[in-house]
Amino acid sequence: MAEPLLELRALHKSFGGLRVTDGVSLEVMQGEIHALIGPNGAGKTTLLHQVSGTLAPDAGRIMLGGRDVTHLPMARRARLGLARSFQITSILPGFPVLENAALAVQARRGSSFRFFGRASREAALNAEALAALAEVGLEGRADAPAAALSHGEKRQLELAIALAMAPRVLLLDEPLAGTGPEEAERLVRLLSGLRARYGVLLVEHDMQAVFALADRISVLAEGRVIATGTPAEIRADAAVRAAYLGEDGA
Amino acid sequence: MWTPGRRSAACPRASDAPIVARRDAARDRPGFSVNTTLLLVQVLNGLQLGVLLFLIAAGLTLVFGVMDFINLAHGVQYMLGAYLGAALAAATGSFWLALLLALPAALAFGLLLEFLVFRHLYERDHLSQVLATFGVILFLNEGVKVVFGTAPMQMPLPAGLTGGVPIMEGLLYPTYRIAILAAGLGTAGLLWFLVERTRAGMLVRAGAANAPMLDALGVNVRGLFLLVFGFGAMLAGFAGVMAAPILSVEPGMGDNLLILAFVVIVIGGIGSVRGAFIAALLVGLVETVGRGLLPDVLRLFLDASSARQAGAALASMLVYIVMAAILAFRPAGLFPVRR
Amino acid sequence: MSGAPGRAERLVPWLVFAGLAAAPFIGFGEGHALTLLARAMIFGMAAVALMLLVGGAGLVSLGHAAMLGMGAYAVVVLDHAGIVEAWIVFPAGILAGAVFALVTGAVAIRTSGVHFIMITLAFGQMAFFTTSSLAIYGGDDGYTLFGRTEVLGARWLEDRLVFHFVCLGLLAGCWALVEALLGSRFGRVLRATRDNETRARALGFEPWPYRLAAYVIAGAIGGLAGVLLANATEFVAPAYLAWQRSGDLLFMVILGGLAGPHGALVGALAFVLVEEWLSHLWQHWRLIFGPLLILCVFFLRGGIVGLLRRG
């Protein structure tokens, strides 16, 4: 089997006496959607924070494409091919929609220490940005100020920014949160089509979407991975049913 | 205010900050070089500047901690305290009566400013707060000129605290300066007790760490802030009254101390009273002792005139170099408040 | 920088430049008026540079007067050494501002928000006290230049009209530079770090190199303005570096509006003219100016340029 794109090795993180990440190991392969589920407070977002570089783990390793990135800052990880969408929408509200994505393209296309020439008129950057917007169905809103988008549109933009980065690994933190059923269905189709290009680590509460999308699922409870397997295996796992699915009624 | 002819009154003069150090009799005695007596005097002067700085910085750091409000006009509270003290002493003929009256007056003035200006700024960004409180400074620095005139005012030493205390063979240290030191340390102790040991203090500390949480818990944050603000204004006013007899009371006298107080709270960690105390003493000592000793130290390497020049220039930078060095290792200050 | 400027707003800088170019020929050609306009243009330059920091990078510097001071004292140091050639003096002043910005910025940029305000203020004060202690250059009392800077030995800058147009040309150049910077790739990253720092990091942009570069550029422009300021008054004093002056510059930027560098142009002009007018009106004009500033903060949120937007 090939080397995993993203690999977490025995991550530990505590806040005070509270262990929020307790020896988590998992991997994401090229072309795979690896979903992370678990009850609220299981430590999913904290784990994503450590992967993206917002939080530093107390112990353990994070490998990205075979390279140890445990101690690299967020910006370096991003340049190494790690894109993250945030649970709470994080866009550039003062920028037009297109420029949100164009900046993501700019991050990997040549130096940003260019002091002259209008960046907003660079055709090469704008073309790629527009393609990313088109993928999420936002091309019609390219010139709108990002702050003026609806909540659902902002979620789409969030995803378009991640795609425009052309990353190797996508970290998606509840991409479906707050979207209506139709929008959710469209996003699920989109994500499904994306998997070939990336390795995806997906945190999502919508179980229907998770079981439809994921190639593998890891179940997190009290900071620990209690099961990893295909959707079918997870469905059948007694421990998971007891710890999580039973409670949630899903 | 840009042309040379009009500049002197509006601008802080270099002699303001180190004046506590410069005015000392011991320094002017002929033939003095680096020795224990001079060092002792410098250290005492430094601690004295330190406690004054602490009284100003304490209010500033708490106000910022609880309300995320940056108040440039905190320095004018100190100036107002000095003016009120000097004017009331002249009117009543008694230092103690003046002190007693100046404190509630400073408090009232602080609350008035809060009502008129500051409370409209809490929801605004730091830039707006900086500018509006800068406007307050312009107004009040000019205001005291109109009311009290541009000439510096003097405040007599309080009866009973004139004269000096022999602290070493052949060295009298002014009693009043020792009283400042004692009063400053006493106030610091009181503040420590209030913040660490009372319920209001606990709320203030909690507010400094996480103000929205207090709000969510149903604590009246506005009321709490008014308390902190008024107390801070009074402390700064207190520092002003105490400093009035040994400094010249003049417009703009608060500005330089304000900036040193900023250095103090940046070094100490914004929102931390303990940090402000330690940083205030540190800044006071570095400022005073550095200014006193650097020219002498440099004389070991340079001729007298170059040493004096370079020493003065270097001493002016010393506090800021210390600040930069501390921030290089601890960007959030010595005692960062957990947020 | 929210939204695109309307057509009326785009005309603003050109109207300002045209007005300043015409001023000497439409009744503002005598000494006092030209001195005043030169001052307005010089502060306009510094304000445009500060706008790059405040409006572009979200860095509220309260120590910008120190950059002017560095440029002005570069003139003094060279003058004392007998060097008055513009091709040395101007680059030296620009370099002085840039180096000071680089050294202090390297510390200040590590912080943000209110820390940054206080630290820039502290470094400005450091520069103020340091220049005050330089007895060789007059200390507190300042230093009177022997004359204005010469251009290849010619005393062109002594001519008021020439000086007026030199200031205007450099002001327009600084405005164009900042305008170009903000729109460039560099400026886009800068604005992104201001808009949403976490997002900028997640895109792969570490903010500090961009912020430091902006700080150094602003310092260089400040240094240039300082050289001109020294030449305008033929006198340099530590008062040029007083922290109140940094406050004035910040007010100019906000008064004009943060929509773009043209706001700083308008703000600086308005500030200098209102200050002049009030100070002739009443000796204690600051009693009016202070509250005026507070009222501007309360009610004039988009600055003067912002008034154009609302229609």
The reported pLDDT for the residue numbered B26 is 43
The reported pLDDT for the residue numbered C301 is 83
Render pLDDT for A81-108 as a digit per residue (tens, 0 to 9). Answer: 999 888 788 899 999 999 999 999 999 8
Residue numbers in B near C135 (CB within 8 A):
309, 312
CA distance C73 to B4: 15
Angle between helices C261-281 and C243-256 (to 10 degrees): 120
The one-digit pLDDT tens for each residue of chain C (311 residues) are 444 567 778 888 999 999 999 988 888 878 888 999 999 999 999 999 999 999 999 999 999 999 999 999 999 999 999 898 889 999 999 999 999 999 999 989 988 888 899 889 989 999 998 998 888 898 889 999 988 888 888 888 888 899 999 999 999 999 999 999 999 999 999 999 999 999 999 999 999 999 999 999 999 999 999 999 999 999 999 999 999 999 999 999 999 988 889 999 999 999 999 999 998 888 888 898 999 999 999 988 888 888 877 64
Share of residues in chain B with pLDDT > 70 (%): 87
Overall domain count for chain C: 1
Top residue of C198, C203, C206, C216 to mutate, by most chain A CBs within 10 Å, is C203
Q: Which of B15, B70, B328 sits opposite C117 (nearest CB)?
A: B70
For residue C229, give its domain range. 31-243
Render pLDDT for A134-155 as a digit per residue (tens, 0 to 9). Answer: 988 888 999 999 999 988 888 8
CA distance C102 to B167: 47
Tokens read off for B95 = 């230092």
Residue C113 touches partner B, C-beta closer than 8 Å: yes
* Residue in B136, B169, B177 with CA at minimum distance from that of residue B51: B177
At B151, give phi and psi (nearest 5°): -70, 140
The reported pLDDT for the residue numbered A1 is 54
| Residue C206 covered by a domain | yes
Residue A143 touches partner C, C-beta closer than 8 Å: no
Angle between helices B36-67 and B74-92 (to 10 degrees): 120
| Residue C44 covered by a domain | yes
Residues near B300 by Cβ (< 8 Å), separated by ≥ 6?
none
Residue B20, pLDDT > 60, answer no
CA distance C82 to chain B (A): 21
Whether the CB-CB separation of B173 and B165 falls below 8 Å is answered with: yes
Residue numbers in A near C196 (CB within 8 A):
90-93
C-beta atoms of C2 and A145 within 8 A? yes
Residue numbers in A near C198 (CB within 8 A):
54, 86, 90
The reported pLDDT for the residue numbered B338 is 59
Rounded to the nearest integer, the mean pLDDT of chain B is: 81
pLDDT band for position A246 (cuts 50, 70, 90): low
A-C C-beta contacts closer than 8 Å: 98
Mean per-residue pLDDT, B56-76: 86
Which span out of A240-249, B150-159, C269-278 was modeled with the highest average pLDDT?
C269-278
Whether the CB-CB separation of B265 and C118 falls below 8 Å is answered with: yes
Render pLDDT for B229-245 as a digit per residue (tens, 0 to 9). Answer: 888 899 999 999 998 88
| Residue C189 covered by a domain | yes
The reported pLDDT for the residue numbered A77 is 93
What CATH topology corresponds to A1-81+167-250? Rossmann fold (3.40.50)
Residue numbers in B near C130 (CB within 8 A):
313, 316-317
Residue A145 touches partner C, C-beta closer than 8 Å: yes
SS3 content of chain B, % helix, strand, coil (to 5): 70, 5, 25
Tell me the C-alpha to C-alpha distance, in Å, between residue B44 and each of B175, B285, B289, C59, C201: 12, 8, 9, 39, 48
Residue C281 touches partner B, C-beta closer than 8 Å: no
| Residue C105 covered by a domain | yes
* Residue whose structure tokens are 């105390």: B277
Render pLDDT for B254-291 as a digit per residue (tens, 0 to 9). Answer: 888 898 999 999 899 887 888 899 999 999 999 888 88
φ/ψ bin of C142: left (φ > 0), alpha (ψ from -120 to 50), beta (otherwise) = left
Residue C267 touches partner B, C-beta closer than 8 Å: no
Residue B15, pLDDT > 60, answer no
Q: Which of C180, C181, C203 sits opposite A107 (nearest CB)?
A: C203
Render pLDDT for B193-243 as a digit per residue (tens, 0 to 9). Answer: 888 888 888 887 777 667 677 777 777 777 888 888 888 899 999 999 998
C-beta atoms of A114 and C186 within 8 A? yes
pLDDT higher for C20 or B336? Answer: C20
Q: Is there contact between C and B if contact means ≥3 C-beta pairs under 8 Å?
A: yes
Top residue of C1, C2, C185 to mutate, by most chain A CBs within 10 Å, is C185
Which span out of A220-234, B51-65, B80-94, C85-99 was modeled with the highest average pLDDT?
C85-99
C-beta atoms of C132 and B316 within 8 A? yes
* Three-state helix/strand/coil letters over C264-276: HHHHHHHHHHHHH
Interface predicted TM-score (ipTM) over 0.95: no
Q: Which of B4, B130, B312 sits opposite C235 (nearest CB)?
A: B4
DSSP string, A88-125: S----TTSBHHHHHHHHHHTTSS-S---SS-GGG-HHH
Nearest CA in chain B to C291: B135
Provide CATH 3.40.50.300 ranges for chain A.
Answer: 1-81+167-250
At C45, give phi and psi (nearest 5°): -60, -50
The reported pLDDT for the residue numbered C4 is 56
CA distance B71 to B249: 22
Q: Which of residues 188-227 of C touch B (CB under 8 A)?
A: none
| Residue C113 covered by a domain | yes
C-beta atoms of C185 and A111 within 8 A? yes
Whether the CB-CB separation of B7 and B13 falls below 8 Å is answered with: no
| Residue C158 covered by a domain | yes
At B167, give phi and psi (nearest 5°): -105, -15
At C23, give phi and psi (nearest 5°): -45, -50
Rounded to the nearest integer, the mean pLDDT of chain A is: 87
The chains found to touch B (3+ Cβ pairs under 8 angstroms) are C
The reported pLDDT for the residue numbered A221 is 86
Q: Which of A73, A83, A116 sits opposite C206 (nearest CB)?
A: A73
Residue A106 touches partner C, C-beta closer than 8 Å: yes
| Residue C171 covered by a domain | yes
Dihedral of CA A56/A61/A62/A67: which sign?
positive
Residue B61, pLDDT > 60, answer yes
Nearest CA in chain C to A167: C203
CA distance B308 to B303: 9
DSSP A77: H
Residue numbers in B near C254 (CB within 8 A):
127-128, 131
